[in-house]
């Protein structure tokens, strides 16, 4: 069985599996010559530009296992008869940890103090605090659960929102997305963890932002397409809202984009899940999925329908 893997480390964790021949393809070089023989493809973190063209060259392909939770780049192009699985759970720890760090950094003015440190200036001033705040998690899946666990010691109230309302086994309530207009004014911090789908494109528009309370912080660890950049820029420029963004639209953000210089913003270059923990868990998932595939067991994280 021919398998494309994104790294030598991935090849190493599959090296002892019988009848599995791995070829490393990290997406930065021309594709290997054996595309027409590949049965399983584990793509690199960054999707290829021409996925449709790549899939057209892979007639024997049966499984695509991504190392990302988001699969929006793949969904429109997956050939009939090919199973698509995502990496749900792999990036939970890193992304949840980034979200906590980002909201703390903005609330405690750490970018301001870092700038003053470079100027060797002792710039004392009071800051906001996370304690006694309300954190609204929009997109309450596995990463949302991981985030709430990490917020447990910060003395905050958590409001959970998912596509559909439900009750958790311990009785906690998850609100439906249609309740957002009533919930947004209650939150000091709004964290975006939704997948990129047609339903979430532009979800955070001018109306969404207008419902957020004055001084609230928007934390985007989802996708840049979820937020109307111009609408957010207007709120930041007015000084009414603050933001921490790990993703942007466009992405990468051009050097001359006004978002870089907007007041009250912290920007990181899509690194929330880029951690050693994510790498370890991705390798564990890759091996587990390949063992399931070889033995005919049901695969985990199968994407069905419109995601």
**Cα–Cα distances in angstroms (integers) from residue 10 to residues 7, 34, 286, in the given order:** 5, 18, 7
Helix (H) or strand (E) holding 161: strand 157-162
Distances (CA, A) of 64 to 68, 76, 102, 103: 11, 13, 32, 34
Q: Are the C-beta atoms of 135 and 156 separated by less than 8 Å?
A: yes
Select which of 37, 39, 251, 292 is catalytic: 251
Residue 2's DSSP bridge partners are 21, 38
Report how far apart, in Å, the C-alpha atoms of 190 and of each of 52, 66, 135, 223 are.
36, 28, 6, 14
303 token code pair = 């994407």
Residue 77 is a catalytic residue: no
Retrieve residue 260's tokens.
Answer: 């870089």
Beta bridge partners of 87: none
Q: Is 97 among the residues known to form the active site?
A: no
Which residues are CB-contacts of 72 (< 8 A; sequence separation ≥ 6)?
A: 195, 196, 197, 223, 307
Q: Report whether 6 contacts 25 (CB < 8 A).
A: yes
Kindly report the number of other CB atoms within 10 A of residue 173's CB atom: 10
One of 175, 223, 242, 281 is an active-site residue; which one? 223
For the question of residue 251 being annotated catalytic, the response is yes
With CA atoms as reference, report the closest residue to 287 among 20, 2, 1. 20
Catalytic center residues = 223, 251, 270
């Amino acid at each position: 069985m021919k398998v494309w893997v994104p790294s030598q480390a991935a090849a190493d964790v599959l090296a002892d599996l019988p009848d599995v021949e791995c070829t490393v393809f990290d997406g930065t070089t021309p594709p290997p010559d054996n595309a027409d023989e590949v049965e399983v493809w584990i793509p690199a973190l960054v999707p290829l530009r021409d996925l449709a063209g790549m899939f057209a060259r892979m007639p024997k392909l049966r499984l695509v296992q991504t190392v990302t939770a988001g699969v929006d780049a793949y969904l429109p192009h997956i050939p009939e008869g090919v199973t698509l699985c995502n990496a749900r759970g792999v990036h939970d720890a890193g992304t949840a940890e980034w979200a906590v760090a980002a909201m703390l950094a903005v609330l405690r003015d750490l970018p301001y103090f870092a700038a003053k440190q470079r100027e060797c200036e002792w710039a004392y001033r009071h800051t906001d605090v996370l304690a006694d705040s309300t954190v609204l998690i929009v997109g309450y899946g596995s990463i949302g659960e991981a985030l709430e666990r990490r917020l447990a010691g910060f003395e905050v109230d958590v409001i959970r929102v998912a596509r559909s309302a439900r009750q958790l086994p311990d009785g906690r309530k998850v609100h439906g997305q249609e309740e957002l207009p009533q919930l947004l004014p209650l939150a000091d911090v709004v964290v975006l963890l939704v997948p990129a789908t047609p339903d979430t494109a532009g979800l955070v528009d001018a109306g969404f932002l207008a419902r957020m309370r004055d001084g609230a912080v928007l934390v985007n660890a989802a996708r840049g397409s979820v937020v109307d950049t111009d609408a957010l820029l207007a709120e930041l420029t007015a000084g009414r809202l603050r933001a921490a963004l790990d993703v942007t639209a466009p992405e990468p953000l051009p050097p001359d984009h006004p978002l870089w210089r907007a007041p009250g913003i912290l920007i990181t270059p899509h690194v929330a899940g880029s951690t050693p923990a994510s790498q370890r868990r991705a390798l564990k998932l890759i091996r587990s999925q390949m063992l399931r595939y070889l033995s005919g067991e049901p695969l985990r994280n199968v994407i069905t329908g419109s995601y």
